[in-house]
Amino acid sequence: MNGLLSNELGQANELGQVLLPWIILACTALILMLTTAFKRNHFHVSVLTSLGLLLAFVVQINQIGGLNYKDSLLVFDGTTGLLSALLIFVSLLLSLLIYPWLNSLQDPKEEYYMLFLLATVGALVVCASNHFASFFLGLELLSLSLVPMVAYVDRDPKALEAGIKYLVLSAVASAFMLMAIAIIYFYTGTLSIEEIIQQPPFASNATNPVSSNIIYSLAIVMLLVGVAFKLSLAPCHLWVADLLEGSPLPTAALLATISKAAIFVVLIRLFTLGEWHLQSDIILILSVVAAASMVIGNFLALLQNNLLRLLAFSSIAHFGYILLALLSIKPNNPLSSATTLSHEAAIYYLFAYLVTVVGTFAILMVISNQALEQQTDASPFTISRLKGLYWKKPATAFVLTLLFLSLAGIPLTIGFIGKFYITLSAVNAQMWGLLGALIVSSIAGLYYYLRIIMMMAEKNLDAQASSPKIQEVHPSILNQLILALVALLVLGIGVFPGELASIIETAI
């Protein structure tokens, strides 16, 4: 009796410990709400948000590798810990960047931070979910917080359009997923991702495999549709460019990074726990999706003149690349029998992608703040605005070049290491066709990244006449620090990737 009680207490204790970052973030959101109810002060709210995130980050970092908790709803293993830390880190960086933009708005500002924190918590829940109920709760918390964030600037028709688009499409995607979950429950009688595998028709000793059951296959496809929408993978990618273009920059950054990364973690979990590598139909569907995402994403990005649309399309391609790592999860490969190469590849690439994209958005925010101050009505994100950036703001241009080289996967950047991981794991799984698609789309991708770098390197002798004066406004010190940090991460890990590689290897 006594032993049982202490066991339960220990369990509860441990749960409290692993949930601590969530609790911190949720409390921060509550405190924000309370303080705002009494007195609105944008600066305080902003600082509080960042502090809360920082605290959560420190706690989360300390937990990496240390904790191993699992119950029916949630799982906290190495992957969760690592990814949670990464998500909080990205949120933290973004939260530091929001202030100047929000400050220029006339609308109430403080609510944005609350939504921001809630979206982060949602992403963390999704990331740790071990059960379709917790997954769905987290997902809705994430998407529903994002909807008002997308449409936050309500006088901007583009933002409203984007908000409605996101609301409707995300609801449709959720509906697809719910239906899929319901069917899965109907067949297996459980919502726990882990237990599903033990039930027929998934269990390995089942007489009829999944593919022979048409309704069950339909459920899987619907689930994949939902996930593909959230990740903006190829057939469900159409919303992402409009959304990134229309929504405010911090929201766009959140959409492009956190919301996608969290869902991808679930996809990894589904793939490994569900032993999808045995289901040839799922592999086929995902392979087609991956190839299409890589090719379509990069080819659509080729001729974009708007940086945000370009980033949106390139993010489609990047998630196509990461799918490669997922697809190469096969326990009987030469390397993965001993280790977990494909897993590491996916996580390394996610890390590389998130850091790089956050950096890119940080630079875009600098540029857009300047545009706001100069009251230019033209879209601040046309590529030609970057013309001659090298000679006006060498440091910013250098960082942006680094980030684009990283996205293009050129060595000595973190993006290359990610690509190397993916190539190695794909070669390991002998997916030659997809590797071909990877090469073709990488080369196409190189073209548009180089196009931007070229634009920045252009000799801009008649600069003053043609383009708005970017050079006159200096980014704040905080902005500069963040850019420096991101550049250091991209370059530092690109040159010495060993540390991070061993951290990821031991955590998983």
Partner 1 sequence: MILTSLILILLVGGIVAWASESFSQNAPKWVAALSLIIAVYPLHFAFIQLAENNTQTWLINEISAWIPRFNITFHFAIDGLSLLLILLTLSMGLIAVMSAWKEIQYRTGFFYFNLLWSLAGVIGVFCALDLFLFFVLWEVMLVPMYLLVAIWGYENRRYAAMKFFIFTQAGGLLMLLSICTLALLHYQQSGVLTFDYIDLLQHQLNPTAALWVMLGFFIAFIIKLPIVPFHNWLPDAHTQAPTAVSVILAAVLLKTGGYGLIRFVLPLFPDASMSIAPMVMGLAGITVIYGAVMAYAQQDLKRLIAYTSISHMGFVLLGCYAMTQQAWQGAVMQMLAHGVSAAALFALVGAIQYRYHTRDLNELGGLWQVLPKLSAVGLFFVIASLGMPGLGNFVAEFLILVGSFATYPIFTIIASSGLILAAVYSLAIAQKTFFGPLKLDSAVDLDRREVLMMLSMAILLIGMGLHPQPLIDLAQQTLNQFPIGVTSK
Q: Which residues pair with 496 in a beta bridge?
A: none
Smallest distance, partner 1 to C-beta of residue 363, A: 19
Nearer to partner 1, 78 or 274 (CB): 78
Helix (H, G, I), strand (E, B) or coil at 50: helix
Q: Is 388 exposed, middle or buried (0-12, 13-18, 19+ CB in 10 A)?
A: buried
Phi, psi of 306 (to 5 degrees): -105, 125
Question: For the residues of 240-287, what is the DSSP string, one character each?
Answer: HHHHHHHS-HHHHHHHHTHHHHHHHHHHHHHHHHTTGGG-HHHHHHHH
Nearer to partner 1, 226 or 388 (CB): 388
Nearer to partner 1, 185 or 447 (CB): 447
Q: How far from 23 is each of 49, 140, 223, 268, CA to CA, in Å?
A: 14, 18, 30, 25
Paired tokens of 129: 């979910």
Smallest distance, partner 1 to C-beta of residue 501, A: 4
Paired tokens of 72: 């029916």
Nearer to partner 1, 15 or 427 (CB): 427
Nearer to partner 1, 284 or 461 (CB): 461
Smallest distance, partner 1 to C-beta of residue 410, A: 6
Smallest distance, partner 1 to C-beta of residue 98, A: 33
Nearer to partner 1, 197 or 450 (CB): 450
Give residue 75's Cα distance to chain centre. Answer: 20
Nearer to partner 1, 109 or 343 (CB): 343
Paired tokens of 112: 């944005």
Paired tokens of 57: 């980050």
DSSP code for 306: B
How many helices and strands in the chain, by DSSP H and E?
A: 21, 2
Smallest distance, partner 1 to C-beta of residue 399, A: 15
d(CA 284, CA 407): 27
Q: Rounded to 5 degrees, what angle do the CA atoms 276, 280, 281 make?
A: 95
Smallest distance, partner 1 to C-beta of residue 216, A: 35
Smallest distance, partner 1 to C-beta of residue 414, A: 13
- 466 sits in which H/E element: helix 463-466
Paired tokens of 36: 């705002």
d(CA 128, CA 124): 6
Smallest distance, partner 1 to C-beta of residue 303, A: 14
3-state SS track over 94-146: HHHHHHHHHHCCCCCCHHHHHHHHHHHHHHHHHHHECEHHHHHHHHHHHHHHH
Instruction: Quote the radius of gyration of the chain (alpha carbons, Å).
Output: 23
Nearer to partner 1, 120 or 425 (CB): 425
Residue appearing with tokens 């959140």: 254
The residue ranges that bind partner 1 (CB under 8 A) are 334-335, 344, 391, 405, 410-412, 416, 420, 423-424, 427-428, 435, 438-439, 442-443, 446-447, 450-451, 453-454, 457, 459, 496-498, 501-502, 505
Nearer to partner 1, 177 or 453 (CB): 453
Smallest distance, partner 1 to C-beta of residue 419, A: 8
Residue appearing with tokens 């801009």: 460
Nearer to partner 1, 237 or 277 (CB): 277
Smallest distance, partner 1 to C-beta of residue 325, A: 13
